[in-house]
Amino acid sequence: MVFGTAGHIDHGKTTLVRALTGRDTDRLPEEKRRGISIDLGFAPLTLPSGRRAAFVDVPGHERFIRNMVAGVHGMDAVLLVVAATEGVMPQTVEHLAILDFLGVSDGLVVLTKADLVEADWLDLVATDTRATLAGSFLGSAPILAVGTPSGRGMPLVLAELDRLASVVRPRDAGGVLRLPVDRVFSVRGFGTVVTGTLTRGTLRTDEAVELAPGGPRARVRGLESHGEVVTFARAGQRVAVNLSGVDRAAVVRGQVLTHPGQLDPVTVAAVELTLLPDAPALKHRGRVHTYVGTAEALARVYFWDRDALAPGSQAWAELRWEEPVVLQRGDRVLIRTYSPVVTVGGGVVAEVGVHHRRREPNLLARLDEQLAGDPLTLLAEGLVGREAPLALDQAARQLATPLEDLSRVVGERPDITLIAGRWVWSPTAARRVADRVREVVTAYHREHPLRSGWPRERQKQEFPEWDPRLFGQWVAAVDGVELEGDVLRRTGFQVELSEAQAAWRAEIREAVRGRGLEPPDLAWVLTRVSAPEDRVRDVVEWMVAQGELVRLGDQLLVDGGVYAEAIRAIAAALAREGPLGTAALRDVLGTTRKYAVPLLERMDEARVTRREGDVRVLVQS
């Protein structure tokens, strides 16, 4: 369990934690000098039942809200602290809103400094506090009065914490590793250490990890949890991680420690936003401060169905960050205005990494369903719009689900197709893309009737989202097309020359054959045929494919029959005289070095000859 404090400045949060744990969470010299908490403080706690827990103590001053928010994400339950001498104050209300927006749903209320007030006043403060909490997640929470000097009420607080520890739902230890970093420092002889609440997954010593976004990769040198050295940590624990292979300067609060490749930073997300009743209206394209985990980042808010969000209202919005952030579906986001910086609202993430047009049909209804739907259904719906399959391990990261668990269940769903055991896709999307493949191949045949089919280069251009090898495996099973080598064509397609094309073919062959072993380039050939250049090129490509022409290098073209005669002459000379140099082989061909070299290199490629130093030998078949 991780408990946290919240409440107005100087209401006794740190004193309460010290009374419960025996540890002072104010570690900075300035905190001790000024007598206020500035940054997060941490302390371990053993509950009466023997359960292990930890405290995150947050600052109460409004200037340090960003530090307070960084501590909230890891809380399983909160102690909302209200001083009996003052009652509910502005930061009490703001902290309560922040806790609500960031998804904290359990806790209790502690009235500190109860020894300093009369019983009637204490009852009045308790009543006022209960009224403030009405409608919030703490609306029916216990309110306990304590006096730290005397120890009044402390056993009741510990008993209530023990009760909370027994009923609060444990965090997901089977999901993707997420440890939002809330502190980083160096230890002499050990190197860089990061701390945080392990909100999901498990972590072991000697594992490879990375810091996202933008951080380096490292290895876990050591772990410490609740003041003890451990070799294994799981979701729900406070953890200090000693990293090897990373410099202290490369790590900052707000990054997330995870396994390599597990979390993809994004700059856009669809969020269901709620605005506080007393907040100013939030305008379309307004610039805001956002808080996710321990990170703070600037973003702009884009609404799809309005120009502004009114106070106390709720709407879907797209957040576009100015720098990458680490997000997953279901995460909570806190919103504060750009200037002056005040808390105005928050939201729940429904979709990450996908940008939507403002007038996209049925978008808002789909997002409503997506926020409420089960993960596999959401995955299936998301796959429908994809132009290519999604890697199974990436889908597992998006759903925060172990890969082996996802592999087991996706094959049982009719709305998800498992391809080659490593990719998932929607049958609907597959049919749509298959139709598109048939259309593109048919159009290619129409535009290039003399080419055997759609080449690999064009396939990559038309379907850039695909892994080329996967595309070949998948498209080979598409009805109506067939894959031969790298060429894709309609099933049963055969090249047939028209009367005009047959005439161009004869002209081309006569012109090229007339040049003998002084082969021309393509540009020269194009000038010898009275037809559009693109049509002549198609005939040339067909003739090359049929073996009627042979391409030497990039441009030169030699008649197939002439080339075959040249091969026979070279093979006979090498068989008769043994290895020969380029000059001797040039004389055998009866041409110049300019043409002999590309002819001989083409024979090397065809494995008729093999170059060995300055001579060539005949390859024995």
CATH number of residue 75's parent domain: 3.40.50.300
197 and 152 in a common domain: no
The answer to whether residue 333 is domain-embedded is: yes
Q: What is the pLDDT of residue 31?
A: 66
What's the average model confidence in pLDDT over 528-555? 86
**Residue pointed to by tokens 């082996």:** 404
| Residue 293's CATH number | 2.40.30.10
146 and 21 in a common domain: yes
**Residues near 315 by Cβ (< 8 Å), separated by ≥ 6?**
272, 273, 303, 305, 306, 309
122 and 162 in a common domain: yes
473 and 414 in a common domain: yes
Q: Residue 407 and residue 422: Cα distance in Å, rounded?
A: 9
Asked if 254 and 293 count as a contact pair (C-beta separation under 8 A), the reply is: yes
The answer to whether residue 616 is domain-embedded is: yes
The answer to whether residue 172 is domain-embedded is: no
253 and 273 in a common domain: no
Residue 347, pLDDT above cutoff 80: yes
Q: Whole domain around residue 501: which residue ranges?
A: 497-621
Residue 526, pLDDT above cutoff 60: yes
Q: 583, 593, 587, 606: which is closest to 518 by C-alpha?
A: 593
Q: Which of 455, 486, 517 is the last residue of a domain?
A: 486
What's the average model confidence in pLDDT over 513-532? 90
Report the side by side order of strands in the sheet with 77-83: 41-46, 52-57, 2-7, 77-83, 107-112, 143-145
529 and 383 in a common domain: no
| Residue 576's CATH number | 1.10.10.10
The answer to whether residue 492 is domain-embedded is: no
The answer to whether residue 173 is domain-embedded is: no
Torsion of CA 274, 279, 285, 287, to 10 degrees: -110
271 and 199 in a common domain: no
Q: Which of 448, 466, 486 is the last residue of a domain?
A: 486
Q: Which of 235, 258, 281 is the last residue of a domain?
A: 258
The answer to whether residue 174 is domain-embedded is: no
233 and 293 in a common domain: no
Asked if 58 and 96 count as a contact pair (C-beta separation under 8 A), the reply is: no
Q: What is the pLDDT of residue 158?
A: 94
Q: What does the pLDDT look like over 112-131, one tens digit per residue?
A: 999 999 999 999 999 999 99
Q: Residue 348 and residue 316: Cα distance in Å, rounded?
A: 10
Q: What does the pLDDT look like over 187-233, one tens digit per residue?
A: 888 889 999 999 888 898 988 899 999 878 899 999 998 778 998 89
The domain total for the chain is 5
Q: What is the pLDDT of residue 192?
A: 92
Asked if 328 and 199 count as a contact pair (C-beta separation under 8 A), the reply is: no
251 and 154 in a common domain: no
The answer to whether residue 422 is domain-embedded is: yes
Q: What is the pLDDT of residue 48?
A: 92
The answer to whether residue 427 is domain-embedded is: yes
Task: Kindly report which listed range (268-272, 321-325, 430-434, 567-571) carries the lowest average pLDDT score.
Answer: 430-434
Q: What does the pLDDT look like over 77-119, one tens digit per residue?
A: 999 999 999 999 988 999 999 899 888 889 999 999 999 999 9
Residue 599, pLDDT above cutoff 90: yes
- Helices 560-577/593-605 angle, 10° precision: 80
130 and 34 in a common domain: yes
Residue 172, pLDDT above cutoff 70: no
8 and 118 in a common domain: yes
215 and 161 in a common domain: no
Asked if 402 and 175 count as a contact pair (C-beta separation under 8 A), the reply is: yes
Q: What is the pLDDT of residue 173?
A: 67
